[in-house]
Amino acid sequence: MLGNVLKKFLLILLVVVAYQNWGKIERVFNPSQVVSEQTQATANVVFYTTEWCGYCKLTRRFLDQKGIPYKEFDIEKDAVARKAYEALGGGGIPFLDVNGTLIRGYDPDAILAALK
Protein backbone atom coordinates (compact mmCIF):
# COMPACT_ATOMS: atom_id res chain seq x y z
CA MET A 1 0.00 0.00 0.00
CA LEU A 2 2.75 2.44 0.98
CA GLY A 3 4.63 1.53 -2.21
CA ASN A 4 1.69 2.61 -4.40
CA VAL A 5 1.36 5.93 -2.59
CA LEU A 6 5.09 6.56 -2.99
CA LYS A 7 4.93 5.71 -6.71
CA LYS A 8 2.02 8.14 -7.23
CA PHE A 9 3.85 10.87 -5.32
CA LEU A 10 7.02 10.40 -7.38
CA LEU A 11 5.02 10.47 -10.62
CA ILE A 12 3.33 13.74 -9.63
CA LEU A 13 6.68 15.20 -8.62
CA LEU A 14 8.19 14.20 -11.97
CA VAL A 15 5.31 15.84 -13.87
CA VAL A 16 5.69 19.09 -11.90
CA VAL A 17 9.45 19.24 -12.46
CA ALA A 18 9.05 18.50 -16.18
CA TYR A 19 6.40 21.25 -16.51
CA GLN A 20 8.59 23.82 -14.75
CA ASN A 21 11.57 23.04 -16.98
CA TRP A 22 9.78 22.38 -20.26
CA GLY A 23 11.67 25.09 -22.18
CA LYS A 24 15.00 23.52 -21.29
CA ILE A 25 13.70 20.06 -22.17
CA GLU A 26 12.45 21.27 -25.57
CA ARG A 27 15.84 22.83 -26.30
CA VAL A 28 17.50 19.43 -25.86
CA PHE A 29 15.14 17.74 -28.34
CA ASN A 30 14.90 20.63 -30.83
CA PRO A 31 18.26 22.44 -30.97
CA SER A 32 17.39 24.14 -34.29
CA GLN A 33 15.12 26.47 -32.31
CA VAL A 34 18.09 27.89 -30.36
CA VAL A 35 19.40 31.35 -31.30
CA SER A 36 22.98 31.63 -32.57
CA GLU A 37 25.93 31.45 -30.21
CA GLN A 38 26.86 35.01 -31.21
CA THR A 39 23.42 36.23 -30.14
CA GLN A 40 23.71 34.30 -26.89
CA ALA A 41 27.11 35.86 -26.20
CA THR A 42 25.90 39.43 -26.74
CA ALA A 43 22.51 39.02 -25.06
CA ASN A 44 21.95 41.25 -22.06
CA VAL A 45 18.47 40.35 -20.83
CA VAL A 46 17.06 41.45 -17.49
CA PHE A 47 13.70 39.87 -16.71
CA TYR A 48 11.40 41.35 -14.03
CA THR A 49 8.79 38.89 -12.90
CA THR A 50 6.62 37.55 -10.09
CA GLU A 51 6.10 33.97 -8.98
CA TRP A 52 2.38 33.86 -9.83
CA CYS A 53 2.49 35.48 -13.32
CA GLY A 54 1.42 33.15 -16.13
CA TYR A 55 2.91 35.32 -18.88
CA CYS A 56 6.18 35.38 -16.94
CA LYS A 57 6.21 31.58 -17.09
CA LEU A 58 5.63 31.71 -20.85
CA THR A 59 8.44 34.24 -21.26
CA ARG A 60 10.80 32.13 -19.13
CA ARG A 61 9.93 29.07 -21.20
CA PHE A 62 10.57 30.99 -24.44
CA LEU A 63 13.95 32.28 -23.25
CA ASP A 64 14.98 28.80 -22.05
CA GLN A 65 13.78 27.17 -25.27
CA LYS A 66 15.80 29.60 -27.40
CA GLY A 67 18.87 29.31 -25.19
CA ILE A 68 18.83 33.03 -24.39
CA PRO A 69 20.68 33.79 -21.14
CA TYR A 70 18.88 36.15 -18.74
CA LYS A 71 18.97 37.55 -15.24
CA GLU A 72 15.62 37.14 -13.49
CA PHE A 73 14.38 39.27 -10.61
CA ASP A 74 11.14 38.76 -8.66
CA ILE A 75 9.86 42.28 -7.95
CA GLU A 76 7.76 41.07 -5.02
CA LYS A 77 10.69 39.44 -3.22
CA ASP A 78 13.57 41.77 -4.09
CA ALA A 79 13.25 45.43 -3.04
CA VAL A 80 16.28 46.53 -5.11
CA ALA A 81 14.81 44.85 -8.21
CA ARG A 82 11.46 46.53 -7.51
CA LYS A 83 13.14 49.96 -7.46
CA ALA A 84 14.99 49.21 -10.71
CA TYR A 85 11.72 48.01 -12.29
CA GLU A 86 9.94 51.20 -11.21
CA ALA A 87 12.84 53.39 -12.39
CA LEU A 88 12.49 51.85 -15.87
CA GLY A 89 8.78 52.66 -15.95
CA GLY A 90 7.42 49.31 -14.75
CA GLY A 91 3.78 49.14 -15.70
CA GLY A 92 3.13 45.42 -15.70
CA ILE A 93 4.84 42.10 -15.89
CA PRO A 94 6.60 40.43 -17.46
CA PHE A 95 8.92 43.35 -18.04
CA LEU A 96 12.21 42.86 -19.88
CA ASP A 97 15.22 44.98 -20.67
CA VAL A 98 16.74 43.34 -23.76
CA ASN A 99 19.97 45.07 -24.79
CA GLY A 100 18.44 48.39 -23.73
CA THR A 101 15.04 47.81 -25.38
CA LEU A 102 12.18 47.73 -22.85
CA ILE A 103 9.51 45.11 -23.52
CA ARG A 104 6.26 44.86 -21.57
CA GLY A 105 4.29 41.63 -21.68
CA TYR A 106 4.92 38.35 -23.43
CA ASP A 107 6.27 39.29 -26.88
CA PRO A 108 8.67 36.73 -28.40
CA ASP A 109 9.02 38.67 -31.67
CA ALA A 110 10.04 41.84 -29.84
CA ILE A 111 12.59 39.88 -27.78
CA LEU A 112 14.19 38.38 -30.90
CA ALA A 113 14.19 41.76 -32.66
CA ALA A 114 15.92 43.41 -29.69
CA LEU A 115 18.62 40.72 -29.74
CA LYS A 116 19.64 41.48 -33.34
Q: What is the DSSP string of 18-57?
A: HHHTHHHHHHHH-GGGSPPHHHHHH--EEEEE-TT-HHHH
pLDDT of residue 24: 67
Q: Which CATH number fits domain 2-115: 3.30.450.20, 3.40.30.10, 3.40.50.300, 3.30.70.141?
A: 3.40.30.10
Give residue 48's pLDDT. Answer: 97
pLDDT per residue rounded down to tens, the chain (116 residues): 677 888 887 888 777 777 777 666 666 666 555 555 655 556 799 999 999 999 999 999 999 999 899 999 999 999 999 999 999 998 899 999 999 999 999 999 999 999 98
Please name every residue paired with 95 in a beta bridge, in sequence order, or none if there are none. 48, 104
52: three-class secondary structure by DSSP: coil
pLDDT value for 40: 58
Strands 71-74 and 45-49: parallel
